[in-house]
Structure 1
């Protein structure tokens, strides 16, 4: 029973990673659009926008919008995810950490989760449905690591 399930999960992994990337990028881009353009509730849920050029809010929102779109599309995925992860780590430690130790106490759950989610994308890559593959022919994700290709000696 586990052999068919392992086979299915191995075949589905690039598609699951792609879906994770698309959803994470879309949600992140929505945060940026909300802060920059006042859509989807606007900045701080009050329909407003972040003042243009204000530090760090406007720059964070620009990274959220651009990084989210790039990650969602799978275009420059690893670089966009790295910048996005770093911006959320910065947000967590500069804004939330001073208030309390735990993210649940300091309101930093989303910053912490985005930081770790984007870091995961840096290491796993874009998955199956990425524009990088269309424009640059990146096929490295389809090649199985040698440890998976070789039968175990056990």
Structure 2
């Protein structure tokens, strides 16, 4: 990898995370609140309806957390799992391949979020801001003079 591409990697990963998380959150908002065209051609999914409403809440909350970079790996893992569930319970029974069964978005989101579980959020993540302000565990438990173990 060229040095320029390597230096840009965390920033491009962050943009990828923000766009994907935002799109996923919009899909959830459309289903939960009936905005942006609504669910399935208009309207919202009735609260508590299994599994659609719960999937929409995962999309809304998980997508928002991923976009913000807050708890990215856990939010991405749950989002990936929900899309795998959607693919195998809703789409797989209609045909073998995603192109045939309408499950392409579920399959793509599943793999995209799984990738974010392993890559992390990249730059511009709220987690980075929070951990940068949190003192190291050793600093919280010991004063600098007590940081080295003393044999008694």
Q: Under a length normalisation based on structure 1, what TM-score does the superposition of the two structures give? A: 0.85
Partners of 2:131 and 2:52 in 1: CA distance: 33
Q: How many residues align?
A: 133
Which residue in the other structure is 1:69 paired with?
Answer: 64
Match of 1:20 among 13, 16, 23: 16
* Unmatched 5+ stretches in structure 2: 134-152
Offset at residue 76 of structure 1 (A): 0.2
What do the CA deviations read for 1:79-133 (whole angstroms, capped 9, x no partner)?
0000000000000000000000000000000000000000000000000110001
1:99 match: secondary structure: coil
* Matching of residue 50 in structure 1 with residue 45 in structure 2: yes
2:88 to 90, 93, 96: 93
What corresponds to 2:149 in structure 1?
Answer: none
Distance apart, 1:137 and its partner CA: 2.2
**Which residue of 1 is the match for residue 114 of structure 2?**
119
Question: Which 4+ residue blocks in structure 1 deviate beyond 2 angstroms?
Answer: none
**CA deviation vs aligned residue, 1:36-62 (integer Å, no higher than 9, x gap):** 0000100112x2110100100000000
- Rounded to whole Å, the distance in 2 between the matches of 1:9 and 1:121 is 19
TM-score (norm 2): 0.86
Trace 1:24-35 onto structure 2 (pairs within 5 A): 24-35=20-31
Q: Which runs of 5+ in 1 are unaligned?
A: 139-154
Q: Distance in 2 between matches of 1:91 and 1:60?
A: 8
Match of 2:34 among 26, 33, 38: 38
CA distance in 2, matches of 1:15, 1:87: 27
RMSD after superposition: 1.1
